Amino acid sequence: MTKGASGRETVLKGKPVSASRSEMTEIVLPAQTNPLGKLLGGQVMHLVDMVAAMAAHRHSNSYVVTASVDYIDFRNPVNLGEIVNLKSQVNRVFRTSMEVGVEVYSENAMTEERKHTTSAYVTFVAIDEFTRLPKPVAPLIVKTAEERQRFEEAAKRRKVRLLLRYGKRHIVS
Ligand SMILES: CC(C)(COP(=O)(O)OP(=O)(O)OC[C@H]1O[C@@H](n2cnc3c(N)ncnc32)[C@H](O)[C@@H]1OP(=O)(O)O)[C@@H](O)C(=O)NCCC(=O)NCCS
């Protein structure tokens, strides 16, 4: 239940994970690489933030801000000239916040080799366009076993990130 601009209470209709799924594709150019010809970590983080924000924006139909990035893992480098594919989806909705999972793959178009290079979890908060305060988000409808697993695991990660942000005094489920 949430209050709209009219002040009337409305029930937010659930949305499936598929409604948030987002993708971005880039090619790695020299300005984005280190002296070894590898895509800069900061550049990967920027792309992760962008594709994750798209999923949160699509799910919530709201402006969103990044609240935290609690896990980012660089498994393999992305080389100069390779294609980077980023995929994101909302894993779980809490009240005003959403956890988004991101996976990054590199693709060498010469050899067709694809590698999983990076995983990340990013939390966004939906912001009311008038009050600029956090606003409730539609529930997430999980359908597949994989979506359910991500949903369950997101709750465990939230406990850790809120513990880091607020300490023991603010543990919520
Ligand atoms: C994120 C932000 C909106 C939270 O505001 P706040 O005053 O702490 O608001 P609340 O306490 O009401 O929390 C709002 C939501 O954020 C969540 N939250 C706050 N800090 C968090 C963190 N570190 N990790 C995950 N979620 C967090 C809360 O759990 C709550 O979610 P819920 O409603 O689903 O339970 C505020 O800290 C902010 O504006 N930060 C700057 C954001 C920014 O500039 N990002 C970069 C540019 S987009």
pLDDT score of 52 = 98
Which CATH number do you get for residue 21? Answer: 3.10.129.10
> Is a pLDDT exceeding 60 seen at residue 4?
no
Residue in this structure with the two tokens 């959403």, named with its chain if needed: 98
Q: Find the residues whose C-beta lies inside 6 A of ligand 1.
A: 65-68, 94-97, 123, 125, 134, 161-162, 165
Query: What's the distance, Cα to Cα, between the start and end of the chain in Å?
Result: 18
What atom of ligand 1 comes closest to residue 161's alpha carbon?
Answer: 24
The reply to whether 7 falls in a domain is: no
- pLDDT by residue (tens digit) across 114-166? 999 999 999 999 999 999 999 999 999 999 999 999 999 999 999 999 998 88
The reply to whether 105 falls in a domain is: yes
Average pLDDT value for the chain: 93
pTM for this structure?
0.92
Tell me which residue has its CA closest to atom 1 in ligand 1: 67
Q: Which pLDDT band, with edges at 50, 70 and 90, does 27 fall under?
A: very high
The reply to whether 4 falls in a domain is: no
Structural domains of the chain, count: 1
User: Residue 116's domain spans which residues?
Assistant: 12-170
